[in-house]
Amino acid sequence: MTETRMIQTLRYYLSEHPSIVGFRWTDSQSWGNTWVFLFISISSYIILSVFLHLFLLLVFRHRRPLPLGPVPAVHSLSMALISFTIFAGILLSAAAEIRDTRWFWRRYKTTPFQWLLCFPIGTRPSGRVFFWSYIFYLSRFLHTLRTFFTIIRRRKLSFYQLFNHSILIFMSFLWLEFSQSFQVLGIILTTSIYSVVYGYRFWTAVGLPSKCFHFVNHCQIVLLSCNVICHIGVLLLHFLRGGCNGIGAWVLNSVLNGAILFFFLNYYVKLHLEEKRKIRAAKQMLKDKDN
């Protein structure tokens, strides 16, 4: 009885609370929902990252890492919990939307999976799933803190990291602004992977053993591969079912995802080649010692 009540309480606060059901992507209800805010926040993130990198290079000429204490571990744990909460919330909210609008889908012969990929034309950014899309959008700003951790600890500024974080903020804004199709499934996939990735980062940050080689990179490959498959599904449904909502934003989203995929594969190939070079150098060193 207690367990059932606990499940009902969780379902209420994750999908049936009035603030969630009555959510609207408007100036009065949604902080940070303007284009001006979007471009100022992304520009500020890039400028601050570059400034911090140059400042540390001037002040600390050595390359030794600066200690951050438990801050990275706390951030990873927080992001893991936030990602899992968004995952659970949007999963329950999507199920509730499917339950409440099933009559509408039967009329237009639409299945729940098709709805996850392709919103009907005229969909507005309001209700349960868009509330969690908004929370996901806000969480992208917390995600950017990893850039500053990398700069402070390693004195390294990665173009891929700056580009990836900026594009993630921009794309999550487009999802809300244009009620873009695919976003529900995209958030489910992203938060499920991120909850695992940040959980792993917390595991290693507190000093526990790391047994998975390039675990985070492999998770990123899985996520990008799933995104590619889902984007193909959206394109097919758009032409077969008479259109998907926010298809213009989806096209831009696809281009940006393609750019992220290109930069990531370029980074991954370089990382793999560097590992092979180190292995060859280690083998050569052992041969020289034997001789």
- Annotated domain spans of the chain: 2-290
Average pLDDT over residues 129-135: 94
Helix (H) or strand (E) holding 101: none
Integer Cα distance of 30 and 35 in angstroms = 13
Integer Cα distance of 82 and 148 in angstroms = 20
Q: Percentage of the chain surpassing pLDDT 90?
A: 31
Q: What angle do CA 259, 76, 3 make, to 5 degrees?
A: 115
Question: Mean pLDDT lowest for which of 17-21, 113-117, 247-251?
Answer: 113-117
Q: How far is CA 54 from CA 50, 68, 112, 170, in A?
A: 6, 19, 50, 25
Q: Residue 95 CA to chain centroid, in angstroms?
A: 21
Integer Cα distance of 160 and 260 in angstroms = 8
Q: Give the DSSP letter of residue 212.
A: S
Q: Percentage of the chain surpassing pLDDT 70?
A: 86
**pLDDT, position 62:** 67
Cβ(188)–Cβ(129) under 8 Å?
Answer: no
**pLDDT, position 80:** 94
**pLDDT, position 261:** 80
Q: How many CA atoms lie less than 13 Å away from 48 in the CB half-sphere?
A: 13
Cβ(139)–Cβ(187) under 8 Å?
Answer: no
261's CB contacts (< 8 A; 6+ apart) are 224, 228
182's CB contacts (< 8 A; 6+ apart) are 116, 117, 118, 230, 231, 234, 250, 253
Q: How far is CA 38 from CA 137, 258, 268, in A?
A: 11, 21, 29
- Token look-up 């990531």 returns 264
Choose from 12-21, 77-86, 270-279 the range with maximum mean pLDDT.
Answer: 77-86
What does the radius of gyration of the chain's CA atoms come to, in whole angstroms?
A: 22
Q: Residue 8 CA to chain centroid, in angstroms?
A: 28
- Residue 11, token pair as written in the block: 């379902």
- Which of 134, 130, 124 is CA-nearest to residue 32? 134
Higher pLDDT, residue 67 or 37: 37
pTM of the predicted model, to two decimals?
0.88
Is pLDDT above 70 for 269? yes
